[in-house]
Amino acid sequence: MLKKALVCSVAIAAALAAGSAFADTKDKKIALSNNYAGNSWRQSMLKSWDKVTKPAVEAGIVAAADPFTTSENQVTEQAAQIQNLILQGYDAIVINAASPDALNGVVKQACDAGIVVVSFDGIVTEPCAYRIAVDFAKMGEVQLDYLNDKMKDGGNLLEIRGLAGVFVDDEISKGIHRGADKYKQFKIAGSVHGDWAQEVAQKAVAGILPSLPEIKAVVTQGGDGYGAAQAFKAAGRPTPLIIMGNRQDELQWWKEQKDANGYETMSVSIAPGVSTLAFWVAQMILDGKKVPQDMTVPFLQIDQANLEANLATTEKGGVANVEYTAEDAAKVVAGN
Protein backbone atom coordinates (compact mmCIF):
# COMPACT_ATOMS: atom_id res chain seq x y z
CA MET A 1 0.00 0.00 0.00
CA LEU A 2 2.72 2.37 1.04
CA LYS A 3 4.68 1.34 -1.99
CA LYS A 4 1.77 2.04 -4.25
CA ALA A 5 1.30 5.49 -2.78
CA LEU A 6 4.94 6.22 -3.27
CA VAL A 7 4.85 5.19 -6.90
CA CYS A 8 1.76 7.31 -7.33
CA SER A 9 3.33 10.41 -5.85
CA VAL A 10 6.48 9.96 -7.90
CA ALA A 11 4.36 9.70 -11.02
CA ILE A 12 2.48 12.86 -10.09
CA ALA A 13 5.69 14.70 -9.34
CA ALA A 14 7.10 13.63 -12.67
CA ALA A 15 3.97 14.74 -14.46
CA LEU A 16 4.14 18.12 -12.73
CA ALA A 17 7.79 18.58 -13.59
CA ALA A 18 7.08 17.64 -17.18
CA GLY A 19 4.68 20.55 -17.35
CA SER A 20 7.36 23.11 -16.39
CA ALA A 21 9.37 25.16 -18.85
CA PHE A 22 12.52 23.07 -18.58
CA ALA A 23 10.88 19.74 -19.15
CA ASP A 24 13.12 18.67 -21.96
CA THR A 25 16.49 19.04 -20.28
CA LYS A 26 15.81 17.97 -16.68
CA ASP A 27 17.45 14.57 -17.21
CA LYS A 28 20.22 15.87 -19.44
CA LYS A 29 23.82 15.93 -18.26
CA ILE A 30 26.26 18.65 -19.26
CA ALA A 31 30.04 18.46 -18.74
CA LEU A 32 32.67 21.20 -18.83
CA SER A 33 36.00 20.17 -20.35
CA ASN A 34 38.62 22.73 -19.35
CA ASN A 35 42.30 22.57 -20.29
CA TYR A 36 43.92 24.81 -17.67
CA ALA A 37 43.23 26.24 -14.21
CA GLY A 38 46.52 27.84 -13.20
CA ASN A 39 45.70 31.56 -13.35
CA SER A 40 43.17 33.95 -11.87
CA TRP A 41 41.10 34.20 -15.04
CA ARG A 42 40.57 30.44 -15.21
CA GLN A 43 39.87 30.26 -11.48
CA SER A 44 37.15 32.90 -11.88
CA MET A 45 35.81 31.03 -14.89
CA LEU A 46 35.45 27.82 -12.87
CA LYS A 47 33.93 29.67 -9.92
CA SER A 48 31.36 31.31 -12.19
CA TRP A 49 30.51 27.91 -13.63
CA ASP A 50 29.84 26.52 -10.15
CA LYS A 51 27.90 29.56 -9.06
CA VAL A 52 25.48 29.41 -11.98
CA THR A 53 25.21 25.68 -12.66
CA LYS A 54 24.73 24.43 -9.09
CA PRO A 55 21.42 26.26 -8.59
CA ALA A 56 20.42 25.17 -12.10
CA VAL A 57 20.98 21.54 -11.12
CA GLU A 58 19.15 22.00 -7.80
CA ALA A 59 16.23 23.60 -9.62
CA GLY A 60 16.08 20.56 -11.89
CA ILE A 61 16.82 22.47 -15.07
CA VAL A 62 19.54 19.93 -15.91
CA ALA A 63 20.53 16.67 -14.20
CA ALA A 64 24.24 17.45 -13.90
CA ALA A 65 26.78 20.12 -14.82
CA ASP A 66 30.15 18.72 -13.86
CA PRO A 67 33.40 20.61 -14.48
CA PHE A 68 36.54 18.67 -15.43
CA THR A 69 39.99 20.25 -15.74
CA THR A 70 43.09 18.58 -17.16
CA SER A 71 46.25 19.01 -15.14
CA GLU A 72 48.85 19.63 -17.80
CA ASN A 73 47.32 21.89 -20.45
CA GLN A 74 48.04 19.24 -23.08
CA VAL A 75 45.98 18.51 -26.17
CA THR A 76 46.38 14.74 -25.85
CA GLU A 77 45.22 14.84 -22.25
CA GLN A 78 42.14 16.87 -23.10
CA ALA A 79 41.33 14.56 -26.04
CA ALA A 80 41.43 11.57 -23.67
CA GLN A 81 39.28 13.47 -21.19
CA ILE A 82 36.63 14.22 -23.83
CA GLN A 83 36.64 10.57 -24.88
CA ASN A 84 35.89 9.63 -21.27
CA LEU A 85 33.08 12.17 -21.16
CA ILE A 86 31.58 10.61 -24.29
CA LEU A 87 31.70 7.17 -22.69
CA GLN A 88 30.15 8.48 -19.48
CA GLY A 89 27.08 9.46 -21.45
CA TYR A 90 26.97 13.23 -21.15
CA ASP A 91 24.41 14.86 -23.43
CA ALA A 92 26.42 18.01 -23.98
CA ILE A 93 30.08 18.92 -23.56
CA VAL A 94 31.15 22.51 -23.08
CA ILE A 95 34.80 22.97 -24.05
CA ASN A 96 37.49 25.54 -23.40
CA ALA A 97 40.01 23.96 -25.76
CA ALA A 98 43.78 23.70 -25.59
CA SER A 99 43.97 24.01 -29.36
CA PRO A 100 41.60 25.27 -32.09
CA ASP A 101 42.15 22.30 -34.41
CA ALA A 102 43.96 19.47 -32.61
CA LEU A 103 40.78 18.40 -30.78
CA ASN A 104 38.65 18.30 -33.94
CA GLY A 105 38.88 14.51 -34.24
CA VAL A 106 37.52 13.82 -30.78
CA VAL A 107 34.93 16.62 -31.12
CA LYS A 108 33.69 14.91 -34.29
CA GLN A 109 33.44 11.63 -32.35
CA ALA A 110 31.30 13.38 -29.75
CA CYS A 111 29.03 14.89 -32.40
CA ASP A 112 28.68 11.49 -34.08
CA ALA A 113 27.63 10.05 -30.73
CA GLY A 114 24.82 12.60 -30.67
CA ILE A 115 26.44 14.87 -28.13
CA VAL A 116 26.07 18.64 -28.34
CA VAL A 117 29.49 20.34 -28.29
CA VAL A 118 29.78 24.03 -27.39
CA SER A 119 33.23 25.63 -27.41
CA PHE A 120 34.02 29.02 -25.91
CA ASP A 121 37.08 31.22 -25.29
CA GLY A 122 39.47 28.56 -26.64
CA ILE A 123 37.20 27.51 -29.52
CA VAL A 124 37.43 24.48 -31.84
CA THR A 125 37.11 24.73 -35.61
CA GLU A 126 35.28 21.41 -36.17
CA PRO A 127 32.09 22.46 -38.07
CA CYS A 128 29.71 20.31 -35.98
CA ALA A 129 30.62 22.21 -32.78
CA TYR A 130 29.09 25.48 -31.65
CA ARG A 131 31.46 28.38 -31.09
CA ILE A 132 31.17 31.27 -28.67
CA ALA A 133 34.09 33.42 -29.75
CA VAL A 134 35.45 36.77 -28.72
CA ASP A 135 36.54 39.27 -31.34
CA PHE A 136 40.08 39.36 -30.02
CA ALA A 137 41.41 41.51 -32.87
CA LYS A 138 38.81 44.12 -31.98
CA MET A 139 39.98 43.93 -28.37
CA GLY A 140 43.42 45.02 -29.58
CA GLU A 141 42.10 47.69 -31.91
CA VAL A 142 39.91 49.49 -29.32
CA GLN A 143 43.06 50.15 -27.29
CA LEU A 144 44.46 52.25 -30.13
CA ASP A 145 41.08 53.92 -30.66
CA TYR A 146 41.19 54.95 -27.02
CA LEU A 147 44.79 56.18 -27.24
CA ASN A 148 43.96 58.19 -30.37
CA ASP A 149 41.22 60.00 -28.43
CA LYS A 150 43.47 60.51 -25.44
CA MET A 151 46.76 61.64 -26.96
CA LYS A 152 46.47 63.39 -30.29
CA ASP A 153 50.23 63.95 -30.45
CA GLY A 154 50.92 60.25 -30.42
CA GLY A 155 54.29 58.84 -29.41
CA ASN A 156 56.07 55.58 -28.78
CA LEU A 157 54.17 52.50 -27.62
CA LEU A 158 55.36 49.37 -25.90
CA GLU A 159 53.38 46.27 -26.77
CA ILE A 160 53.09 43.42 -24.28
CA ARG A 161 51.96 40.24 -25.99
CA GLY A 162 50.62 37.03 -24.49
CA LEU A 163 51.84 33.47 -24.87
CA ALA A 164 53.76 32.98 -28.15
CA GLY A 165 52.13 30.58 -30.59
CA VAL A 166 48.64 30.84 -29.12
CA PHE A 167 45.80 31.91 -31.41
CA VAL A 168 44.50 34.55 -28.98
CA ASP A 169 47.91 36.25 -28.81
CA ASP A 170 48.16 36.49 -32.60
CA GLU A 171 44.64 37.91 -32.90
CA ILE A 172 44.98 40.62 -30.24
CA SER A 173 48.38 41.63 -31.58
CA LYS A 174 46.96 41.78 -35.12
CA GLY A 175 44.30 44.19 -33.88
CA ILE A 176 46.85 46.34 -32.08
CA HIS A 177 49.01 46.60 -35.19
CA ARG A 178 45.95 47.36 -37.32
CA GLY A 179 45.19 50.21 -34.94
CA ALA A 180 48.78 51.48 -35.06
CA ASP A 181 48.62 51.51 -38.87
CA LYS A 182 45.37 53.47 -38.69
CA TYR A 183 46.72 56.19 -36.39
CA LYS A 184 50.09 57.11 -37.86
CA GLN A 185 51.16 59.23 -34.87
CA PHE A 186 51.79 56.07 -32.85
CA LYS A 187 54.86 53.92 -33.28
CA ILE A 188 55.33 50.53 -31.62
CA ALA A 189 58.87 50.95 -30.33
CA GLY A 190 59.17 47.56 -28.68
CA SER A 191 57.32 44.32 -28.20
CA VAL A 192 57.77 41.65 -25.53
CA HIS A 193 55.92 38.50 -24.51
CA GLY A 194 54.42 38.69 -21.03
CA ASP A 195 52.55 35.37 -21.15
CA TRP A 196 49.48 37.04 -19.54
CA ALA A 197 51.29 36.82 -16.19
CA GLN A 198 52.37 39.78 -14.06
CA GLU A 199 55.77 38.30 -13.12
CA VAL A 200 56.71 37.40 -16.69
CA ALA A 201 55.56 40.77 -18.01
CA GLN A 202 57.51 42.60 -15.30
CA LYS A 203 60.66 40.70 -16.19
CA ALA A 204 60.33 41.19 -19.94
CA VAL A 205 59.52 44.90 -19.65
CA ALA A 206 62.38 45.50 -17.21
CA GLY A 207 64.72 43.92 -19.74
CA ILE A 208 63.75 45.92 -22.79
CA LEU A 209 63.07 49.25 -21.04
CA PRO A 210 66.67 50.52 -20.81
CA SER A 211 67.04 50.29 -24.59
CA LEU A 212 63.80 52.15 -25.38
CA PRO A 213 63.12 55.86 -25.92
CA GLU A 214 60.37 57.60 -23.91
CA ILE A 215 57.26 55.41 -23.86
CA LYS A 216 53.90 57.20 -23.96
CA ALA A 217 51.64 54.22 -23.53
CA VAL A 218 51.69 50.45 -23.03
CA VAL A 219 49.23 48.31 -24.99
CA THR A 220 48.53 44.95 -23.37
CA GLN A 221 46.55 41.74 -23.51
CA GLY A 222 45.39 41.46 -19.90
CA GLY A 223 47.09 40.04 -16.82
CA ASP A 224 50.24 42.02 -17.57
CA GLY A 225 49.46 45.67 -16.76
CA TYR A 226 50.38 45.56 -13.07
CA GLY A 227 53.71 43.88 -13.87
CA ALA A 228 54.45 46.58 -16.46
CA ALA A 229 53.72 49.29 -13.90
CA GLN A 230 56.09 47.63 -11.42
CA ALA A 231 58.83 47.49 -14.05
CA PHE A 232 58.49 51.20 -14.91
CA LYS A 233 58.59 52.06 -11.22
CA ALA A 234 61.69 49.93 -10.62
CA ALA A 235 63.47 51.54 -13.56
CA GLY A 236 62.69 55.01 -12.16
CA ARG A 237 60.81 56.00 -15.30
CA PRO A 238 57.61 58.06 -15.37
CA THR A 239 54.57 55.79 -15.51
CA PRO A 240 53.05 55.86 -19.00
CA LEU A 241 49.40 55.21 -19.80
CA ILE A 242 49.07 51.46 -19.31
CA ILE A 243 45.98 49.73 -20.69
CA MET A 244 44.71 47.28 -18.08
CA GLY A 245 43.10 43.86 -18.45
CA ASN A 246 40.34 43.78 -15.80
CA ARG A 247 42.36 41.84 -13.18
CA GLN A 248 41.60 42.96 -9.67
CA ASP A 249 45.24 43.85 -8.90
CA GLU A 250 45.35 45.99 -12.05
CA LEU A 251 42.10 47.79 -11.21
CA GLN A 252 43.27 48.30 -7.63
CA TRP A 253 46.53 49.83 -8.84
CA TRP A 254 44.64 52.04 -11.29
CA LYS A 255 42.33 53.23 -8.48
CA GLU A 256 45.31 54.10 -6.26
CA GLN A 257 46.92 56.10 -9.07
CA LYS A 258 43.64 57.77 -9.93
CA ASP A 259 43.15 58.90 -6.33
CA ALA A 260 46.77 60.02 -6.01
CA ASN A 261 47.31 61.91 -9.26
CA GLY A 262 44.26 61.60 -11.50
CA TYR A 263 45.79 58.81 -13.61
CA GLU A 264 43.60 57.94 -16.58
CA THR A 265 43.43 54.74 -18.59
CA MET A 266 40.97 52.04 -19.65
CA SER A 267 40.72 48.33 -19.12
CA VAL A 268 39.46 45.62 -21.43
CA SER A 269 39.22 41.83 -21.31
CA ILE A 270 36.75 38.97 -21.63
CA ALA A 271 34.57 38.22 -18.62
CA PRO A 272 35.40 34.74 -17.30
CA GLY A 273 31.65 34.26 -16.80
CA VAL A 274 31.46 33.48 -20.52
CA SER A 275 31.59 29.86 -19.29
CA THR A 276 28.07 30.34 -17.91
CA LEU A 277 26.89 31.68 -21.27
CA ALA A 278 28.25 28.50 -22.86
CA PHE A 279 26.36 26.46 -20.26
CA TRP A 280 23.02 28.11 -21.08
CA VAL A 281 23.66 27.83 -24.81
CA ALA A 282 24.24 24.08 -24.38
CA GLN A 283 21.04 23.85 -22.32
CA MET A 284 19.07 25.75 -25.00
CA ILE A 285 20.34 23.46 -27.74
CA LEU A 286 19.38 20.39 -25.68
CA ASP A 287 16.00 22.04 -25.20
CA GLY A 288 15.57 22.03 -28.97
CA LYS A 289 15.97 25.77 -29.43
CA LYS A 290 17.57 27.15 -32.58
CA VAL A 291 21.03 28.55 -31.91
CA PRO A 292 23.50 29.88 -34.51
CA GLN A 293 26.62 27.77 -34.94
CA ASP A 294 28.95 30.77 -34.56
CA MET A 295 28.40 33.51 -32.01
CA THR A 296 30.50 36.37 -30.69
CA VAL A 297 30.32 37.78 -27.18
CA PRO A 298 31.11 41.37 -26.32
CA PHE A 299 34.21 41.98 -24.24
CA LEU A 300 34.03 43.79 -20.94
CA GLN A 301 35.44 47.32 -21.04
CA ILE A 302 36.01 49.41 -17.93
CA ASP A 303 36.43 53.20 -18.15
CA GLN A 304 37.46 55.99 -15.84
CA ALA A 305 33.83 56.56 -14.84
CA ASN A 306 32.80 53.02 -13.91
CA LEU A 307 36.14 51.91 -12.40
CA GLU A 308 34.94 52.10 -8.78
CA ALA A 309 31.72 50.23 -9.51
CA ASN A 310 33.61 47.42 -11.24
CA LEU A 311 36.32 47.27 -8.61
CA ALA A 312 33.70 46.92 -5.88
CA THR A 313 32.12 43.88 -7.52
CA THR A 314 35.43 42.23 -8.44
CA GLU A 315 36.59 39.63 -5.97
CA LYS A 316 40.05 40.15 -4.46
CA GLY A 317 42.52 38.39 -6.71
CA GLY A 318 39.86 37.73 -9.34
CA VAL A 319 38.87 39.26 -12.65
CA ALA A 320 36.04 41.71 -13.37
CA ASN A 321 33.20 39.44 -14.29
CA VAL A 322 29.76 39.11 -15.82
CA GLU A 323 27.73 35.98 -15.18
CA TYR A 324 24.83 35.08 -17.40
CA THR A 325 21.31 34.05 -16.48
CA ALA A 326 19.17 31.99 -18.82
CA GLU A 327 17.46 35.23 -19.96
CA ASP A 328 20.79 37.01 -20.61
CA ALA A 329 21.97 34.05 -22.64
CA ALA A 330 18.76 34.00 -24.68
CA LYS A 331 19.32 37.71 -25.45
CA VAL A 332 22.91 37.13 -26.60
CA VAL A 333 21.77 34.25 -28.81
CA ALA A 334 18.97 36.34 -30.28
CA GLY A 335 21.41 39.19 -30.95
CA ASN A 336 23.79 37.02 -32.99
Partner 1 sequence: MTNIWNRLRHEPWIWSFLAAIGVWLATIAYTGGQGAGEILTAALSFATFSIIVGLGQMMVITTGPGNVDLSIPATITLAGVVAMKVMDTDSARLLLGIGAALGASFLVGVFNYGLIRLLRIPPIIATLSSSFLVLSTAISYGRGIRIKPPLPLDSFATMRILGIPLAAVFVLVLSIVLAIVIKRTLYGRAVVAIGQNPRAAWLAGINVNRTRFMTYVLSALLAGVCGILLSGFSGGAALNMGEEFLLASIAVVVIGGTSVAGGRASVPGIWGAALFMYLLVTMLNTFGASAGVRLIMTGVIIITVIVLAGGETQSK
The whole-angstrom distance between residue 51's C-alpha and the CA centroid of its chain comes to 16
Whether the CB-CB separation of 317 and 42 falls below 8 Å is answered with: no
208 is an interface residue for partner 1 by CB under 8 A: yes
Which window, 20-28, 53-61, 102-110, 204-212, contacts partner 1 (CB under 8 A)?
A: 204-212
- Interface residue with partner 1, options 26, 108, 203, 258 (CB under 8 A): 203
Taking the least distance from each CB to partner 1, the nearer of 71 and 185 is 71
DSSP string, 90-104: -SEEEEE-S-SSTTH
Taking the least distance from each CB to partner 1, the nearer of 91 and 195 is 195
- Interface residue with partner 1, options 234, 289, 331, 335 (CB under 8 A): 234
Whether the CB-CB separation of 208 and 235 falls below 8 Å is answered with: no
Whether the CB-CB separation of 161 and 189 falls below 8 Å is answered with: no
- Interface residue with partner 1, options 192, 241, 271, 285 (CB under 8 A): 192
Taking the least distance from each CB to partner 1, the nearer of 63 and 163 is 163
CB of residue 302 to partner 1, shortest distance in Å: 18
Tell me how many residues contact partner 1 (CB under 8 A): 38
Instruction: Work out the angle between the directed axes of helices 104-112 and 75-87 (0-180°, nearest 10).
Output: 10
- Interface residue with partner 1, options 57, 63, 128, 197 (CB under 8 A): 197
Taking the least distance from each CB to partner 1, the nearer of 29 and 193 is 193
Whether the CB-CB separation of 213 and 189 falls below 8 Å is answered with: yes
249 is an interface residue for partner 1 by CB under 8 A: yes
Taking the least distance from each CB to partner 1, the nearer of 179 and 190 is 190
Alpha helices in 115-247 (DSSP H): 136-150, 167-182, 198-208, 225-234
Residues 83-142 that bind partner 1 (CB under 8 A): none
202 is an interface residue for partner 1 by CB under 8 A: yes
- Interface residue with partner 1, options 198, 220, 265, 275 (CB under 8 A): 198
Residues forming a β-bridge with 192: 160
Residues 11-30 that bind partner 1 (CB under 8 A): none
Say if strands 116-120 and 130-134 run parallel, antiparallel, or are unpaired: parallel
311 is an interface residue for partner 1 by CB under 8 A: no
Taking the least distance from each CB to partner 1, the nearer of 237 and 258 is 237
- Interface residue with partner 1, options 44, 81, 104, 220 (CB under 8 A): 44
- Interface residue with partner 1, options 74, 191, 239, 257 (CB under 8 A): 191
CB of residue 326 to partner 1, shortest distance in Å: 27
Mark 18-49 as b/e (b = at least 16 C-beta within 10 Å).
eeeebeebbebbbbbbbbbeebbbbbbbbbbb
- Going from the C-alpha of 257 to that of each of 157, 215, 219, 250, 272, the distances in angstroms are 20, 18, 18, 11, 26
Whether the CB-CB separation of 266 and 309 falls below 8 Å is answered with: no
Residues 161-190 that bind partner 1 (CB under 8 A): 161, 164-165, 190
Residue 297 has, within 13 A of its CA and on its CB side, a CA count of 28
- Going from the C-alpha of 275 to that of each of 166, 172, 238, the distances in angstroms are 20, 20, 39
- Interface residue with partner 1, options 227, 240, 272, 273 (CB under 8 A): 227
CB of residue 131 to partner 1, shortest distance in Å: 26
Mark 153-186 as b/e (b = at least 16 C-beta within 10 Å).
ebbbbbbbbbeeebbbbebbbebbbebbeeeeeb
Distance CA 205, CA 182 (A): 25
- Interacting residue ranges for partner 1, rule: CB under 8 A: 37-40, 43-44, 71, 161, 164-165, 190-193, 195, 197-200, 202-204, 206-211, 226-227, 230, 234-235, 248-249, 316-318
